[in-house]
Amino acid sequence: MTMPWTLARQTARDAVKPLEAVEVPLPDALGSALASGVNAHTHQPTCDTSAMDGYAVAGLGPWTVVGRVSAGDRVPPPLRFSEACAVATGAPVPAGADLVVPIEHCHLDGELLTGYTGELGKHVRRRGEDWSAGDELVPAGTVVSPAVLGLAAGAGHDTLLVHRKPRVAVVVTGDELLRSGPPRPGRVRDAIGPMLPGLLTGSDLLGTTHLRDDPEALADALTCDAADVLVACGATSVGAKDHLRRVLVELDAEVLVSGVACRPGHPQLLAALPDGRVVVGLPGNPFAALAAVVTLLQPLLGTLSGRTVQPAITARFAAVGHRTDTRLIPVTRHGTGALPVGRDRPGSLWGAALADALAVVPPGHFEGEVELLALTSGNAS
């Protein structure tokens, strides 16, 4: 039974649980979602630290220079009134110092230092100024970006606890499909296989298998137990060679979504196999397949990979919607608004290829803020 688009997306999110947590070395965590928050092992900075190359000074000048410290040196002895210590950026600042005077604001005559003084504490990064030991720096569910890796390393981590990435196997079906060269009457180039890997960021793609319209081969492919998610492309409709629904019945699958009230992407489906693996059926029309990726596949992978659902991105938009179904319309963003790209027939990816996002347009005439689904890789909303 055809399901409203919003409910279908939520059903995909709720169909599974996050995969198990694994502890991995920092570089291997990139792109995974944190299974626990990243906490600081120590204060940052761990001691009062100079933010400038210059002199740490105590009291009023002129000062007598009594020492010199570089980044990496031990904390120098405390300063007394009218004493100074030459400090490098990143060097520990001695106790008793009131501020650091940058080198360009100083004059040194032998060991006698004069210079312009600023306010108390100037150019000193105080111990714990950035964060304190035990602070949560990044919450669980955050996708590990390059900046998260750098932050985690800076906060003293060598490993991170992340959710295992979902393993995805893709099966592309169709007697008519070509994998190279130009299409010709009766033969069509596979446009979905090449599109999918870039839409599965945060997952491990095990491989893409091309099959003829053969129910036994399809059933075999869907029993690949190395995968958490099986993506079947084509064969979702009701034609004589559209075997997916029949094969799912044979495999005792529970069909969770059988058709979605959205254009394109009407016949997309979601099913759970008896062993817990999940099948997503993408319609053969390539733009309809993309619509099913953003509606069912990416939300499903988002939950499996443990990602926090991000707040919707919206833009002002006006369109004549479908009478009963949600429309997914390729758009480009302009300031706070969005404009349709056109060229969005279900069999064509032309509009989507020129677009920044798909606008989610509810049924009926629409004018106002619409949700945008980014078309860059990894939209796991």
Ligand X SMILES: Nc1nc2c(c(=O)[nH]1)N[C@H]1C(S)=C(S)[C@@H](COP(=O)(O)OP(=O)(O)OC[C@H]3O[C@@H](n4cnc5c(N)ncnc54)[C@H](O)[C@@H]3O)O[C@H]1N2
The site for ligand X (CB under 6 A) is made up of 172, 174, 176-177, 188, 190-192, 233-239, 242, 264, 266-267, 283-286, 288, 346
Taking the complex as a whole, the smallest distance from the CB of residue 287 to ligand MOO amounts, in Å, to 7
Other residues' Cβ atoms within 10 Å of the Cβ of residue 361: 26
Taking the complex as a whole, the smallest distance from the CB of residue 192 to ligand MOO amounts, in Å, to 12
Of positions 283, 299, 306, 362, contacts ligand MOO by CB under 6 A:
283
Alpha-helical segments (H) within the chain: 5-14, 146-154, 192-195, 215-222, 244-250, 286-292, 298-304, 350-354
**x/- map, 286-315, ligand MOO, by CB under 6 A:** --x---------------------------
What residues does 270 pair with on adjacent strands?
257, 280
Cα distances (Å, whole numbers) of residue 175 to 2, 33, 189, 207 = 27, 39, 11, 19
Six-digit token string for 86: 């030459």
Q: By C-beta, is 148 or 288 nearer to ligand MOO?
A: 288
Q: Would you report the helix, strand and coil content of the chain in percent, each value rounded to 5?
A: 20, 35, 45
Q: By C-beta, is 285 or 303 nearer to ligand MOO?
A: 285
Taking the complex as a whole, the smallest distance from the CB of residue 351 to ligand X amounts, in Å, to 15
Whole-number Å distance between alpha carbons of 308 and 330: 25
Q: Does residue 266 touch ligand MOO according to CB under 6 A? A: yes
Q: Does residue 285 touch ligand MOO according to CB under 6 A? A: yes
**x/- map, 336-355, ligand MOO, by CB under 6 A:** ----------x---------
Alpha-helical segments (H) within 118-268: 146-154, 192-195, 215-222, 244-250
Residue 263's binding partner among ligand X, ligand MOO, none (Cβ under 5 to 8 angstroms by kind) is: ligand MOO
Contact 216, 265 (CB under 8 A): no
The owner of tokens 């296989």 is 193
Determine the size of the site formed for ligand MOO (CB under 6 A).
Answer: 9
Q: Does residue 263 touch ligand MOO according to CB under 6 A? A: yes
Q: Does residue 265 touch ligand MOO according to CB under 6 A? A: yes
Q: By C-beta, is 100 or 235 nearer to ligand X?
A: 235
Residue 293's binding partner among ligand MOO, ligand X, none (Cβ under 5 to 8 angstroms by kind) is: none
Find all residues with CB under 8 Å of 104, minimum gap 6, and list them: none
Residue 167's binding partner among ligand X, ligand MOO, none (Cβ under 5 to 8 angstroms by kind) is: none
- What is the SS3 assignment for 171? strand
List of residues contacting ligand MOO (CB under 6 A): 263-267, 283, 285, 288, 346
